[in-house]
């Protein structure tokens, strides 16, 4: 469910008309609904009730300070994959004791920051990383809480670029090697071994891969327990999908069904469980608002050219992802539609949001909303083609705030420096 709906023929985010935001912030602009964020968090929390859960929002999905702070006020922790995300989580009000640090390439500086800050746990992705964490923790006079991220060799059945749980992927420790590495972790000075972690991919639309992975974790818990190695926590990652293309009757699992499956597979273990949702919480909470630059009639097809580009929303170019596109002014009932390619201004053929999409007539200056853009939209944006980063707006009821302004071209230029030798006389 989202909170973007037409009122009196105009698309609103909660109680705020989208044209008012576009006028104030310019376009393109990301718009997030607080009510959707809050609802999705509560639905997931209710689905997991009784499981000793802790929800850690995956910042890679959406790095907006306002979004993170909204979820933190509800009790969410954070799943971070860089030192920058760690700082951002703390700045948004997430307590260090609720932060999980994941990722295969943590640097020494990032690990020192995580250990010194006293975060909840570091998810270890390899044996060399475990040894490095142990050394850094000893140098700091600390013990680092670690969970071993297990690669269960489970095909998540999702897009090849967002699957993370097969043996061909770079993530995690081969599950058959996990017991031996857990033994080492238990014996290493500077390490506090707390448990196991798993994350098999993103945008999963079936519970079967989750269940297979969780049952492998259960077997590892039993094996380690039999050796006298205590496992206190299981980090079950994220990955539940959201509906992007309703016309295809996408039906990702409901959080309630996800919770039921976890109770069936792991509920009797009485362990602390961590969850790292990203897309599930924020995907439907955001839209990208763009303005039509012009309509171009080509020899064989027509193009709707927007002021948003692939640098603002990368998913269609990167994953061939589908996003709903609708006019901000509601079309009249029965208005004719035609097939048109929806493209941006970037000098790349891949700068295409939709091919031959059936849309009502749109003209220069009209506003459109690209839906389900709250996840992996602004967080993946860039300044490619010299375009300023897209601004972000958070709405709550009838109020809204600009949470990240669009930089000016002067500000962008000021971040670059001219090498001194270029100002010296030439040959």
Catalytic residues: 347
Q: 259: Cβ–Cβ under 8 A, 6 or more apart, which residues? A: 47, 48, 49, 51
CA distance 302 to 344: 13
Number of Cβ atoms within 10 Å of the Cβ of 3: 20
Structure tokens at 335: 């208005």
How far does Cα 33 stand from its chain's mean position? 16
CA distances from 240 to 170, 356, 377 (A): 21, 29, 18
> Can you tell me whether residue 56 is helix, strand or coil?
strand
Please measure the distance between the N-terminal and C-terminal CA atoms of the chain and give it in whole angstroms: 65
Q: 387: Cβ–Cβ under 8 A, 6 or more apart, which residues? A: 309, 311, 312, 346
CA distance 145 to 77: 16
> Look-up: residue for tokens 């081969």?
174
CA distance 233 to 223: 15
> Is the omega angle on the peptide bond into residue 28 within 30 degrees of 0, that is, cis?
yes
CA distance 373 to 289: 10
Task: Order across the sheet with 4-7: list the strands.
Answer: 4-7, 10-13, 16-17
Minimal CA–CA distance to 33: which of 342, 287, 347, 409? 287
Q: Is the alpha carbon torsion for 171, 72, 40, 26 positive or negative?
A: negative
CA distance 175 to 153: 8
């Amino acid at each position: 469910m989202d909170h973007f709906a037409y009122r009196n023929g105009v698309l609103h985010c909660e109680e705020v008309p989208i044209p008012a935001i576009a006028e104030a912030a310019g376009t393109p602009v990301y718009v997030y609904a607080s009510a959707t964020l809050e609802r999705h968090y509560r639905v997931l929390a209710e689905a997991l009730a009784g499981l000793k859960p802790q929800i850690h929002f995956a910042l890679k999905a959406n790095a907006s300070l306002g979004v993170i702070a909204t979820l933190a006020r509800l009790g969410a922790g954070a799943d971070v994959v860089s030192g920058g995300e760690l700082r951002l989580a703390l700045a948004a009000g997430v307590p260090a004791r609720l932060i999980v640090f994941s990722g295969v390439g943590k640097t020494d500086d990032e690990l020192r920051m995580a250990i010194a800050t006293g975060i909840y746990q570091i998810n270890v992705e390899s044996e060399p990383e475990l040894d490095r964490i142990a050394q850094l923790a000893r140098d700091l006079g600390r013990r680092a809480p670690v969970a071993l991220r297990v690669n269960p060799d489970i095909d998540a059945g999702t897009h090849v670029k967002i699957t993370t749980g097969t043996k061909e992927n770079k993530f995690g420790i081969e599950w058959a090697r996990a017991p031996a590495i857990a033994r080492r972790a238990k014996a290493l000075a500077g390490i506090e071994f707390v448990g196991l972690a798993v994350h098999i991919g993103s945008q999963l639309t079936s519970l079967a891969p989750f269940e297979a992975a969780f049952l492998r974790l259960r077997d590892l818990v039993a094996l380690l327990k039999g050796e006298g190695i205590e496992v206190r926590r299981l980090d079950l990652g994220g990955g539940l999908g959201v509906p992007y293309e309703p016309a295809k009757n996408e039906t990702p699992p409901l959080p309630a069904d996800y919770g039921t499956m976890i109770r069936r597979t792991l509920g009797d273990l009485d362990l602390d469980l961590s969850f790292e949702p990203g897309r599930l919480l924020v995907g439907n909470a955001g839209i990208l608002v763009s303005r039509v630059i012009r309509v171009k009639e080509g020899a064989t097809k027509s193009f709707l050219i927007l002021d948003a580009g692939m640098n603002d929303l990368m998913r269609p170019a990167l994953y061939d992802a589908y996003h709903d596109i609708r006019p901000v002014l509601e079309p009249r009932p029965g208005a004719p539609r035609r097939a048109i390619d929806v493209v941006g201004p970037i000098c790349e053929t891949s700068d295409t949001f939709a091919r031959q999409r059936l849309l009502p007539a749109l003209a220069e200056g009209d506003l459109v909303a690209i839906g389900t853009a709250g996840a992996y939209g602004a967080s993946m944006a860039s300044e490619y083609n010299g375009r300023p980063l897209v601004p972000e707006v958070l709405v709550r009821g009838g109020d809204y705030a600009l949470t990240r302004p669009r930089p000016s071209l002067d500000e962008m230029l000021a971040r670059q420096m001219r090498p001194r030798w270029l100002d010296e006389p030439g040959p």
